Structure 1
Amino acid sequence: MKTVSLRWVKPMVVLAVAGLSAACTLPQVGPSKNQIQKGSVSEQGNAFVVPVNDHVARATAVVPTLGFSNAFSTAPQLTSDTIRPGDVLGLTVWENVDDGLLSGEATNATMLEEVQVDSSGFIFVPYAGRVRAAGNTPNELREMITEKLQDQTPDPQVQVRRIAGDGSTVSLVGSVGAQGVYPIERPTRTLSAMLAKAGGVIIEPEIAQVTVIRGNQRGKIWFQDLFSNPRLDIALRGGDKILVEEDTRSFTAVGATSQQARVRFESQDLSAIEAIAQVGGLISTSSDPTGVFIYRQERADIAQQVLGRNDLQGPQRVVYVLNLKEPNGMFVAREFIIRDDDTIYVTEAPYAQWTKSISLIAGGLTPFANVATLTQ
């Protein structure tokens, strides 16, 4: 059996030592677990490094709350013939006297054609003055005019009809089947019915958000909550603007994961396990399941609850640590909620660094081994 000459042993040992020393400066996907721990507040760093347990998972489980204000929720439904600004009305007034306030000697009926509702929602009726028409039905307006005239002429009879105008309308834009302006009719007086009229949503229902803009008020809900909570199926008003759009929340995944990217949420509640799965999971040959870190600017109230302190002010830099190899590590990761703008970083396993070191040493030894072989 051929052996390597002793004169080659010393160079090979020197090369091995050099390779091991170089391992300290091998390329990495990011900081190691030890380097992250050294950046903690306890080590005079500027971030709190917090291992995640059941208490931490519960304290940080905050999901954006969407909904409508009381003004939206309590508004009654409009009838299909509600008058709105811009409508043109026709009025007929009958008086029970030969010579009335409005009628002449030949007839006891007076017709007021093309009375337009002004931008403020009012019309002018002789001897009745300015009367608010918008928001009322023709019958409700008839009763209001009758009440104002009956003190001046006995038993007046009033008829109100819409001559022109579409009545109350809403506009739908965004991710709906057919964007456009739709009238509020008997079948489409509520939000869900109007969305159905427009062809429904054309994005994934789990991440669809519906915003209703009414004047200077705005309300937003999850599309799916519209059907699970009847209170959210609000009555519409003329001029409402309805916007359907995709949830814009996202997180960033870096490190030893199958995919490194900025990723949109795929559900209302996104756990750490689901987030890792969205980027293809961990890499079996290089990921360290004991070193899954979530970087977050945490709210002061939540940070104080997590850390058991009451002296924190403003957002705090917090690094949450998940250890998936612990007995309940997977359960904790399923309960830990990822939030908008979080960064998930997975460290490399020690084995991956060791493999790089061996490859470096083996690569350096090969030429010397070949030379030694040739000398035999």
Structure 2
Amino acid sequence: MVAASLLGACSLLPTSGPSRRQIESQATANIRVVDVDGAVAKHLSERHTVGLFSDMFRSTSPKTAVVGPGDVLDVSVWEAPPTVLFSYGSGQAASLGNGGSALGYSGGSTSNVTTLPQQMVDADGNIYVPFAGTVQASGKSLREIEADITALLHRQAHKPQVLVRRAVNNAAYVTVVGEVQTSMRMPLTPRGEHLLDALAAAGGTRQPVDKITLQLTRDTAVHSLPLDTVIRDPRQNIQLQPGDVVTALYQPLSFTALGATGKNGEINFEAKGISLAQALARAGALLDTRANAEGVFIFRFESQDGSGSGDTAGAAPATRLPVIYRVNLKDPRAFLVAQNFPVENQDVLYVANAPAADLQKFVNLLLTTVYPIQGAVTLTK
């Protein structure tokens, strides 16, 4: 009778949240309470693992040397004397230095060079060269275009030599946007620029490296990876291809710590993620005077497809299912499991009070109430 009265009185005391028993009693078809063991932690960790860029994107040489629509080309034509097609009046003499022989001619006279106005490769991939006509440029290298123009001029000009230069690169580029200093389109060169080259060309990120996730879009494939992972693993600094879109995303990930922990509040963590063991440490660990080590809970909304809460933050409530993960830290093996259990964005970490803590709180309340009354009665006698 006395014990029942004490328990009833304890339930009326102020508290920071539900007890372990109250949480466990809420297990229904709509709210699952899952005991975390090695198998559960392994499953969640594998599901939480993101695909690496080196696995998701094939390593192929970029076609940066190939001309495309929109590129601006310079075309210069040399004709050895005696000039037949390109006269001296329309061009200029070209010599290879002091007293040197001219390009394409070694008879002591200078050759004639004609530089055509710059031309943009049209939507059909063509440019126009006088006396040669329409020349297909798109999909070809500069050397191939030179050979085509030379062949077309061979029977009209005297020993023609052609030089084609790409003045403006409008076809082979990548787009860099998001949390960077300057959004830009970066031209690609035959050197082969990589992911971090594009980030450096854009002036770097505006937020700390550990808060940034890089998203790479190539054709219809879209994949993301923490910037910290790209920096630490050179294999993820993949070579870019024309048309790639690099987006720097600022992701202020956080979880909320409540209950019998050393620090209650919202706690930020890095884009690469943290484990439950790390989360408990950042929350100040369990309070030795209050915490129920058997009552460590992680409240999370899981998507119906099992992808976790991090990928469905904007999803409608109907598509997200509430799950409560329960960890018993009185079992020494739980500390090993906690190192593999991934904490996700918007998780709530709650540590219940121990039953003895509520009893102690009730006893303290009695002492602070009964002793003053007893003292007052003693003084009146």
TM-score category of the 2 structures, normalised to the smaller one: 0.7 to 0.9
Aligned-partner SS, 2:74: strand
In the superposition, relative to structure 1, how do residues 22 and 144 fare at CA in structure 2: closer, same or farther (>3 Å)?
Answer: farther
CA shift in 2, pair 1:67/1:367, >3 Å: same
- CA apart distance, 1:155: 7.6
Q: Is the 8 A contact 2:297 2:326 kept in 1?
A: yes
- 1:309 corresponds in structure 2 to none
1:341 aligns with 2:359: no
The aligned length equals: 347
Q: Which residue of 2 aligns with 1:319?
A: 324
Q: Deviations over 1:47-101 (max 9, x none)?
A: 222222222221221324144498953342455x76565443232456899998x
Counterpart pick for 1:74 among 59, 71, 87: 59
Asked if the contact 2:258/2:350 (under 8 Å) is kept, the reply is yes
Match of 1:48 among 3, 27, 32: 32
**Aligned equivalents of 2:326, 2:152: Cα separation in 1:** 74
In the alignment, which of 32, 35, 57 is matched to residue 19 of structure 2?
Answer: 32
Candidates 130, 136, 139, aligned match of 1:131: 136
Q: Which residue of 1 aligns with 2:73?
A: 89
Q: What pairs up with 1:348-359 in 2 under 5 angstroms?
A: 348-359=353-364
- What is the alpha-carbon distance in structure 2 between the residues aligned to residue 69 and residue 196 of structure 1? 20
| Counterpart code for 1:76 | S
Match of 1:278 in 2: 282
* TM superposition score normalised by structure 2: 0.71
- The amino acid across from 2:59 in the alignment is T
Which stretch of the first structure deviates more once superposed, 183-192 or 263-272? 183-192
Alpha-carbon contact 1:166-1:183 (below 8 Å) kept: yes
Contact 1:59 1:302 in 2 (8 A): no
The Cα shift of 1:247 comes to: 3.7
Given the superposition, is the C-alpha separation of residues 153 and 50 from structure 1 closer, same or farther in structure 2, using an over 3 Å criterion? same
> Is the helix fraction higher in 1 or 2?
1
| CA positional deviation for 1:222 | 2.6
Separation in structure 2 between the aligned mates of residue 186 and residue 286 of structure 1, nearest angstrom: 64
Contact 1:39 1:46 in 2 (8 A): no
Deviations, residues 112-171 of structure 1 (Å, cap 9, x unaligned): 3222233665434465535234x6543243234446667999986432134556885545
SS in structure 2 at match of 1:113:
coil
- CA root-mean-square deviation: 4.3
Preserved contact between residue 44 and residue 342 of structure 2 (Cα < 8 Å): yes
Q: Which residue of 141, 144, 147 maps to 1:143? A: 147
Give, in whole Å, the separation in 1 of the partners of 2:342 and 2:368: 45
CA contact (8 A) 1:207 1:267 kept: yes
User: Does structure 1 residue 260 correspond to structure 2 residue 271?
Assistant: no
Match of 2:335 among 322, 330, 333: 330
CA offsets 1:284-340 (integer angstroms, 9 cap, x no match): 32222210011223456769xxxxxxxxxx864332111111132222222222223
Q: Distance in 2 between matches of 1:251 and 1:283?
A: 19
The question of whether the paired residues in 1 share the 8 Å contact of 2:34 and 2:323 is answered with: yes
Following the alignment from structure 1 to structure 2, what is the Cα–Cα distance between the partners of residues 283 and 364?
26
Measured in 1, the distance between the counterparts of 2:166 and 2:304 equals 58
Using the TM superposition, give the Cα deviation of residue 357 of structure 1 relative to its aligned residue in structure 2, in angstroms. Answer: 1.0
Q: Contact 2:253–2:346 at 8 Å: present in 1 too?
A: yes
Worse-matched range after superposition: 366-375 or 150-159? 150-159
- Of the candidates 117, 120, 124, which is equivalent to residue 116 of structure 1? 120
1:20, distance to aligned residue in structure 2 (A): 6.5
Letter in 2 for 1:51: D
- Identical amino acids, percent of aligned pairs: 32
> Structure 1 192/17 Cα, relative in aligned 2: closer, same or farther at 3 Å?
closer
Match 1:290 to one of 281, 294, 304: 294
Task: Work out whether residues 20 and 357 of structure 1, in 8 Å CA contact, stay in contact via their aligned partners in 2.
Answer: no
Instruction: Check conservation: 1:251, 1:340, Cα contact below 8 A.
Output: yes
3-state secondary structure, aligned to 2:263: coil
Q: Which consecutive residues of structure 1, in runs of 5 or more, have no partner in the other structure? A: 1-13, 304-313
TM-score (norm 1): 0.72
The 1:54–1:64 alpha-carbon spacing in structure 2 relative to 1, beyond 3 Å, is closer
CA gap of 1:230–1:154, structure 2 versus 1, over 3 A, is farther
Alignment check: 8 A CA contact 1:77 1:190 kept = no
Deviations 1:24-43 (A, max 9, x none): 222222211111111113xx
In the alignment, the residues of structure 2 paired with residue 140 and residue 230 of structure 1 have an alpha-carbon distance, to the nearest angstrom, of 35
Residue 244 (structure 1) aligned to one of 248, 263, 270? 248
Alignment-mate amino acid for residue 320 of structure 1: Y
Which residue pairs with 1:4 in the alignment?
none
2:39 corresponds to which letter in structure 1? Answer: H
Q: Tell me if structure 2 keeps the 8 A contact 1:138–1:161.
A: yes
* Partner Cα distance (1:83, 1:128) in 2: 18
List aligned pairs for 1:149-188, cutoff 5 A: 157-163=161-167, 168-175=172-179, 182-185=186-189
